[in-house]
């Protein structure tokens, strides 16, 4: 019987050609080759950009800090190779806009920065020390959001946290990076979760995985045995891994409009983030590499451990190159990922996948007029009226869009996926959101 743990609305893109996961789900994580030059953007996270602490000509080690946090909601950035700083200059970025980046020429010596060492056992660390380690390691949400993790783990005193969830849903079609991490590194993920529990003073927690990953569920269940950690099986539905939908599925608590998970006593960390937290606590390693699913129309769909700053072109070449004529290249998954136009853009902290789609799978049909079928309303997991929001955006009625809760849109793409008129609903709603935010800033 299907798991009862789920949320209202949502879709099933994991069927038919958009499933995609079998392409790479059985491929163990493999180290990608390291490029001659890495390009590390100062903006790889939500919040203030990092501030360079090196200059052109400096020799750097693997794991050495090259840019410090630019504020509280910010994180430091580390060299992913040993070598020499070539330049600090604008370079192509996954967002599509050039971004100031530290460019490092690799000397292929992989000299580890001497300051890197284990912080000791969890028992010997205080909650504050754990949060400081996570902050100093430059850890952000690895599911794609790239929100600084130390901020999540520092709720104000009036927000009492009683629920910690490791997000192992990985509901995006094609992506299998978290699946492989759960399967291959369950002990590390459980240890990372224990660090989060201690940092927040929470005695119990859970790891939530969609039921289409039985091998991963078995692996983390074994690793969690004898600890106050439950492994929960979620129904397969998109966007099951979105924070608010996951919290509802697990606790039946609804994060209020404009609110945060901490408003309902919950903190969610992605499985990849829990893994990085383990690496920082037990080995002292900062975030300088991550698992990326390289899939779709490539010759060897894979899950690769990629050094941050590696150009997309290098990773695609390592996966055997494109297997045909590519219509669309996406950083991330097909639902929430960002279309790429420049293969020089580098892998960053939030890059969970590189997906190449051909004309058959890219779904680039012509948009036509809305037929008021209501399908978009039925699937919206946030209870919004997507056709109306898009209508407001098209007619520049941004105040009306604000009143209709446009800012609650999590940009999951479910509405656009089911729209028979192929309306560009997410792009329109994104436009409305940015206009509303700009007005609020003024």
- Closer Cβ to ligand SF4, 387 or 398, answer by number: 387
- Interface with ligand SF4, residue 380, by CB under 6 A: yes
Q: Single out the segment in contact with ligand SF4 by CB under 6 A; choices: 257-265, 271-279, 312-320, 378-386.
A: 378-386
- Interface with ligand SF4, residue 419, by CB under 6 A: yes
Binding mask 396-415 for ligand SF4 (x = CB under 6 A): -------------xxxxxxx
- Closer Cβ to ligand SF4, 255 or 370, answer by number: 370
- Interface with ligand SF4, residue 371, by CB under 6 A: yes
Minimum CB separation of residue 162 from ligand SF4 in Å reads 27
Please count the CA atoms within 13 angstroms of the CA of 262 that sit on its side-chain side. 11
One residue of 384, 401, 431, 432 binding ligand SF4 per CB under 6 A? 384
Minimum CB separation of residue 442 from ligand SF4 in Å reads 24
CA-CA distance, 388 to 301, in Å (whole number)? 39
- Interface with ligand SF4, residue 180, by CB under 6 A: no
CA-CA distance, 234 to 244, in Å (whole number)? 14
- Interface with ligand SF4, residue 112, by CB under 6 A: no
Total residues in contact with ligand SF4, by rule CB under 6 A: 29
- Interface with ligand SF4, residue 218, by CB under 6 A: no
- Closer Cβ to ligand SF4, 253 or 430, answer by number: 430
- Interface with ligand SF4, residue 263, by CB under 6 A: no
Residue 130 CB neighbour total at 10 angstroms? 24
Residue 212 CB neighbour total at 10 angstroms? 19
CA-CA distance, 194 to 202, in Å (whole number)? 9
Exposed / middle / buried, residue 288 (Cβ in 10 Å: 0-12, 13-18, 19+): buried
Tokens representing residue 190 in the block: 């459980």
Minimum CB separation of residue 415 from ligand SF4 in Å reads 3
CA-CA distance, 345 to 364, in Å (whole number)? 23
Q: Single out the segment in contact with ligand SF4 by CB under 6 A; choices: 199-207, 264-272, 289-297, 373-381.
A: 373-381
One residue of 421, 424, 435, 436 binding ligand SF4 per CB under 6 A? 421
My answer on whether omega of the bond before 239 falls inside 30° of 0, hence cis, is yes
One residue of 257, 373, 437, 439 binding ligand SF4 per CB under 6 A? 373
- Closer Cβ to ligand SF4, 213 or 244, answer by number: 244
400, containing H or E segment: helix 398-403
Minimum CB separation of residue 335 from ligand SF4 in Å reads 9
Tell me whether strands 229-234 and 328-331 are parallel, antiparallel or unpaired. unpaired
Least Cα distance to 302 among 11, 15, 31, 1 occurs for 31
Strand partners, 148: 140
Minimum CB separation of residue 345 from ligand SF4 in Å reads 24
Minimum CB separation of residue 144 from ligand SF4 in Å reads 15
| Residue that the structure tokens 């759960």 belong to | 182
- Closer Cβ to ligand SF4, 50 or 167, answer by number: 167
Strand partners, 304: 30, 292
- Closer Cβ to ligand SF4, 347 or 370, answer by number: 370
CA-CA distance, 169 to 234, in Å (whole number)? 7
Give the distance, in angstroms, between the CA of residue 157 and the centroid of all CA atoms in the same chain. 27
One residue of 137, 376, 393, 431 binding ligand SF4 per CB under 6 A? 376
Residue 203 CB neighbour total at 10 angstroms? 10
Residues near ligand SF4, by CB under 6 A: 370-376, 379-382, 384, 386-387, 409-415, 418-421, 423, 425-426, 429
């Amino acid at each position: 019987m299907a798991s009862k743990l789920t949320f209202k609305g949502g879709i099933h893109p994991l069927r038919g050609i958009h499933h995609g996961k079998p392409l790479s789900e059985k491929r163990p994580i493999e180290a990608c080759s390291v490029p001659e030059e890495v390009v590390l953007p100062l903006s790889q996270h939500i919040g203030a950009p990092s501030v360079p602490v090196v200059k052109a000509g400096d020799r750097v080690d693997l794991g050495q800090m090259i840019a410090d946090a630019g504020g509280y909601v910010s994180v430091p950035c580390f060299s992913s190779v040993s070598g020499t700083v070539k330049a600090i200059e604008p370079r192509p970025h996954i967002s599509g806009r050039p971004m100031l980046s530290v460019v490092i020429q690799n000397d292929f010596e992989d000299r580890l920065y001497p300051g890197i060492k284990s912080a000791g056992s969890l028992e010997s660390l205080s909650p504050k020390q754990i949060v400081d380690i996570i902050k100093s390691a430059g850890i952000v949400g690895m599911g794609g959001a790239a929100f600084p993790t130390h901020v999540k783990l520092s709720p104000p005193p009036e927000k009492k946290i009683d629920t910690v969830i490791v997000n192992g849903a990985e509901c995006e079609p094609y992506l299998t990076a978290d699946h492989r991490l759960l399967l291959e590194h369950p002990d590390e993920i459980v240890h990372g979760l224990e660090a989060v529990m201690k940092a927040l003073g929470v005695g119990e927690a859970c790891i939530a995985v969609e039921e289409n990953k039985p091998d991963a569920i078995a692996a983390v269940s074994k690793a969690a045995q004898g600890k106050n950690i439950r492994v929960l099986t979620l129904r397969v539905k998109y966007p099951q891994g979105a924070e608010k939908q996951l919290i509802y599925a697990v606790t039946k608590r609804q994060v209020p409009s404009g609110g945060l998970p901490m408003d309902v006593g919950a903190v969610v960390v992605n499985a990849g983030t829990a893994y990085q937290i383990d690496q920082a606590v037990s080995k002292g390693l900062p975030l300088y590499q991550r698992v990326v699913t390289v899939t779709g129309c490539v010759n060897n769909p894979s899950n690769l451990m990629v050094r941050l700053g590696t150009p997309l072109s290098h990773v695609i070449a390592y996966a055997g190159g494109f297997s045909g004529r590519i219509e669309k290249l996406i950083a991330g998954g097909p639902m929430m990922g960002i279309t790429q136009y420049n293969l020089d853009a580098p892998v960053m902290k939030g890059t969970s996948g590189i997906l190449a789609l051909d004309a058959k799978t890219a779904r680039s049909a012509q948009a036509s007029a809305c037929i008021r079928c209501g399908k978009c309303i039925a699937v919206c997991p946030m209870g919004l009226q997507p056709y109306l929001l898009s209508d407001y955006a098209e007619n520049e009625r941004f105040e009306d869009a604000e009143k209709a809760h446009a800012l609650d849109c999590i940009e999951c793409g479910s509405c656009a996926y089911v729209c028979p008129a192929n309306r560009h609903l997410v792009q329109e709603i994104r436009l409305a959101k940015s206009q509303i935010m700009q007005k609020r800033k003024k």
